[in-house]
Amino acid sequence: MKILVTGGAGFIGSAVVRQLIGVTDHDVVNVDKLTYAGNLASLEAIQDDARYGFEQVDICDRNSLVQVFARHQPDAVMHLAAESHVDRSIKGAAAFIETNIVGTYNLLEVARSYYEGLPKARANRFRFLHVSTDEVYGDIEENGAPSDEHSVYAPSSPYSASKASADHLVRAWYRTYGFPVLLTNCSNNYGPCQFPEKLIPLVILNGLAGKSLPVYGAGNQVRDWLFVEDHARALLSVLEMGQVGETYNIGGNCEKQNLEVIHAICDLLEVQAPGKPAGLGRYRDLITHVPDRPGHDVRYAIDCSKISRELGWVPQETFRSGLLKTVSWYLSNRDWIRSIGHGLYRFPEGKSP
């Protein structure tokens, strides 16, 4: 297939592109606006491959999207382009509404028009995979059952509300127009090439710099953690084997409190990076509790038994093995870190993390 990947220079998108080029025979067209979190350096290993192409296009620019589809004639779309950071959505929701809702609408319409013009044999094979988040399901009680594909949507933040809206659009295009969609909802991703506004890379890089490690509230918020390369493998399984119109939850089967995650990173840094900044005793000494953010969900948990049962996917990494790979990658890729401009992000309210 020739697969058009939106957001392919982002954290998850770049992992998907690397895997598509590295382990399949598919051609890839990466469509990315290159916002602050998009980085072509994450694709250096495959950028010269003859099966890889790049288009710097905003999914909100419909005319440019039409040209991309006409020029490349894709057999499938993997839609990962999104604004994704909850803190940013709280401070300014407009970009999330524009990209996640309007952008998804534009992409759906352009892709549908393209699909309807395909010969029957190609149309029968065409797929549109929309990648979403477990945050659309909202907060779960401490002892509550994990969210499955039939759980009621209850988004709490502008970010999760915008993703829930996009999910509804995708399902409506399937129901109304017969457009061949697939949906996935994943838990918290971590791994190489993640922009350091997210918890795990923020803690790693701040720890190495001797800066404070900010923790919202008591740090007892629970998330399920999914290694990004496991997620990429799952998405490929859904694209190639998933049933049109179906939703598949993707999780790491690994619930951890935020403070527990930070402690695990600090302990790995003690071994992997013993040469601490001057005057620092333990990395854990950098932990600083800050006021909780508005509407902060206490627990997300996801039931991913459907994708395991129907498609045979299970995560290959444990949290321990995935975190070790992640810390080691950041320690070995200082050039990538410098390329993304860590100073672009301030946490919270203009304070350097």
User: Residue 85 domain-assigned?
Assistant: yes
Percent of the residues in the chain that have a pLDDT greater than 90, as a whole number: 86
User: Residue 100 domain-assigned?
Assistant: yes
Beta bridge partners of 185: 132, 249
Peptide bond into 348 cis (omega under 30): yes
Tokens of 259: 């403070």
Active site residue 135: yes
| Burial environment of residue 327 by CB neighbours within 10 A (0 to 12, 13 to 18, 19 or more) | buried
**How far apart, in whole angstroms, are the C-alpha atoms of residue 164 and residue 177?**
20
What is the domain extent for residue 139? 2-189+226-251+300-316
Output the furthest CA–CA distance in the chain (Å, rounded). 68
Q: Determine the distance from the C-alpha atom of residue 67 to the mean position of all C-alpha atoms in its chain, rounded to a whole number.
A: 26
User: Residue 267 domain-assigned?
Assistant: no
User: Residue 150 domain-assigned?
Assistant: yes
Tokens of 235: 């998405």
Residue-wise pLDDT tens digits, 73-99? 999 999 999 998 888 899 999 999 999
Active site residue 159: yes
- The domain that holds 12 is classified in CATH as 3.40.50.720
Q: Residues in the chain with pLDDT < 70?
A: 341-353
pLDDT of residue 1: 96
Residue-wise pLDDT tens digits, 259-282? 999 999 999 999 999 998 888 999
Please pick, among 159, 174, 190, 248, the residue that the annotation labels catalytic: 159
**Closest to 80 (Cα-Cα) out of 150, 170, 14, 152:** 14
User: Residue 216 domain-assigned?
Assistant: no
pLDDT of residue 349: 37
pLDDT of residue 341: 60
User: Residue 206 domain-assigned?
Assistant: no
Please pick, among 83, 134, 224, 303, the residue that the annotation labels catalytic: 134
User: Residue 179 domain-assigned?
Assistant: yes
**How far apart, in whole angstroms, are the C-alpha atoms of residue 299 and residue 92?**
24
Give a three-class secondary structure readout of the chain: CEEEEECCCCHHHHHHHHHHHHHCCCEEEEECCCCCCCCHHHHCCCCCCCCEEEECCCCCCHHHHHHHHHHHCCCEEEECCCCCCHHHHHHCCHHHHHHHHHHHHHHHHHHHHHHHCCCHHHHHHCEEEEEEEHHHHCCCCCCCCCECCCCCCCCCCHHHHHHHHHHHHHHHHHHHHCCCEEEEEECEEECCCCCCCCHHHHHHHHHHHCCCEEEECCCCCEEEEEEHHHHHHHHHHHHHHCCCCCEEEECCCCEEEHHHHHHHHHHHHHHHCCCCCCCCCCHHHHEEEECCCCCCCCECCECCHHHHHHHCCCCCCCHHHHHHHHHHHHHHCHHHHHHCCHHHCCCCCCCCC
Do 221 and 135 contact (CB within 8 A), yes or no?
no
Please pick, among 32, 83, 135, 167, the residue that the annotation labels catalytic: 135
User: Residue 333 domain-assigned?
Assistant: no
Sign of CA dihedral 248, 254, 257, 258: negative
Number of domains in the chain: 1
Task: State pTM to two decimals.
Answer: 0.94
pLDDT of residue 286: 96
Beta strands 287-290; 255-257: pairing state: unpaired
Place of tokens 């930070």: 262
